[in-house]
Structure 1
Amino acid sequence: MGTWDIGPFDNDTAADFSYRVDEAADGRKAEVLLTAFREVTGTGEDYLDADLSMEAVASAALVAAQCPGGEPVTTSYGPKKPLGVLPAELRAEAVAALDRVLAEPSELLELWEESGDETWQAGVRELRAVLAGARP
C-alpha cells in the first residue's frame, strides 16, 4: 500500500485518481466521482479492494469540501483543476460509499485496523458526518 499518511489523498491510488479527475472534461468531473462511489457500493457484500476504497474516500473528500463544515482539499496530491459546483445528489452516494468502505469485508479497513492507528477511521467518519449533515 503506497500510503504515507491518513488523509484522503495521502496514497498513490488517490494521487493517481486526482489526475483522472483533472483529465475529465468540464461538466464530466462529477461523473468520475459518481463512478468511484458506485464501484464501491456495487460490491455488495463481496470483498472490497483497497484501491476502489481509496478512490471513493478521495471522491468523498472532494464532495465534502463543497458542504457546510467541509474542509477544502489543499494537498498537492489532489486535483489541480477546479471541479465546478458538484451536484448535491453526490452527497448521498458518498455517504453510502463511505459506509461500505468502513464495513467488512474491506481490504482498506483491514489494513488500517492492522496498523493499530484509528485516526484514519475517525477521519472517514468525519467526512461522512459532513456529507450526511449537509442539506441538498
Structure 2
Amino acid sequence: MIGHAGFGHVRGSAALSTEWGRPGGGLRLRPSAKARPALTVTAMSVAGARILAQLHEEGICMGTWGTGPFDNDAAADFADALDDAEPEEREALIRGVLTRTVNATGWLIEEQEAVAAAALVAAQCPGGDLVDTADGPEEPMPVFSDDLRELADKALARIMSDETGSASNWVDPENGKQWQAGLNRLRAVLAPPERSIPLFDVGP
C-alpha cells in the first residue's frame, strides 16, 4: 500500500486517514498527537464515498504516503510524541518501542514506530543519513547509548521476518521493494563493525 501525497499526516492538525488490508481497517480519523480534537464521521456524501472506493480499488492508503521511515501516520505520531517528551525521556521512548518489537509475538502493532526509531538511531552511526525535521522529530535527539544500535538492528530483523507485516502488504510490489531496500540500508549502518582479532607474532 502507498499513500497519496495530498492526504497524508498533517503535523499539528487533524488528518483523515484510511488503513486498508489491516485488521479492523476502514475509515477513521487520525488527528496529530499535538492536536486531538474530538472528531467523528456521521455522514459522507455520495461523491466522497465514491472517491474513497476508488482509492481503495487503486490500493491507496491515506495513512501512508511514501516508503521512508516517517512516511506514515504512525511514525509521524511517534515523532510528535518525541517532540512532546522531555529531552531526557526521548531515549527511553525509542528504547521502549524497539524492545517491544523485538519481544513481540504475533501482530507487530508498533512496526512503523520501530522503523522510525531505528532510523533515528542509524542517523547517529557512521554512514547514517540525517533525519529531516520536516518528516521526523523537530526537536534534537540526545546522544544515544551504544547498545541501541544492536537493539535497533534486531527490531528491523524482526520486522523483516514478519510474513504478515508491511513486507507483504504493499499493493505495488515496487513500493514494497523500495521499503525493504530502505530497511536493508538502515541495517547495514546499524550492524556493529566486525572486531578485528589481534594476531600474535609467534616467530620462527
Q: Is the shorter-chain TM-score for this pair beyond 0.5, marking a shared fold?
A: yes
Task: Report the Cα offset of residue 48 of structure 1.
Answer: 2.2
State how far apart, in whole Å, the 1-side matches of 2:121 and 2:149 are: 7
* Offset at residue 103 of structure 1 (A): 0.6
Instruction: Find the counterpart in structure 2 of residue 39 from structure 1.
Output: 100
Q: Distance in 2 between matches of 1:96 and 1:106?
A: 18
* Aligned residues between the structures: 131
Query: What code does the residue aligned with 1:40 have?
Result: T
Give the letter aligned to residue 39 of structure 1: R
CA distance change for structure 1 residues 126 and 80 in 2, over 3 Å: closer, same or farther?
Answer: same
Higher CA-based Rg? 2
TM-score by length of 2: 0.60
C-alpha distance in 2 between matches for 1:15 and 1:134: 30
Structure having the larger proportion of residues in strand: 2
List runs of 5+ in structure 2 lacking aligned partners: 1-18, 20-62, 195-204
Specify the alignment match of 2:135 in structure 1.
Answer: 77
Which position in structure 1 is the counterpart of 2:185? 126
Specify which structure has the higher proportion of helix: 1
Match of 1:115 in 2: 172
101, 104, 128: which one pairs with 2:159? Answer: 101
Q: Deviations over 1:42-70 (max 9, x none)?
A: 114x2323xx1100000000000000000
Instruction: Give 1:75 shift.
Output: 4.5
Counterpart contact for 1:64–1:131, Cα < 8 Å: yes
**Alignment check: 8 A CA contact 1:14 1:54 kept:** yes
What is the rounded CA distance, in whole Å, between the counterparts of 2:133 and 2:69 in structure 1? 10
The TM-score with structure 1 as length reference comes to: 0.89
Per-residue deviation at 1:110?
Answer: 1.8
Q: What amino acid sits opposite 1:119 in the alignment?
A: Q
Where does the alignment leave 5 or more consecutive residues of structure 1 unmatched? none
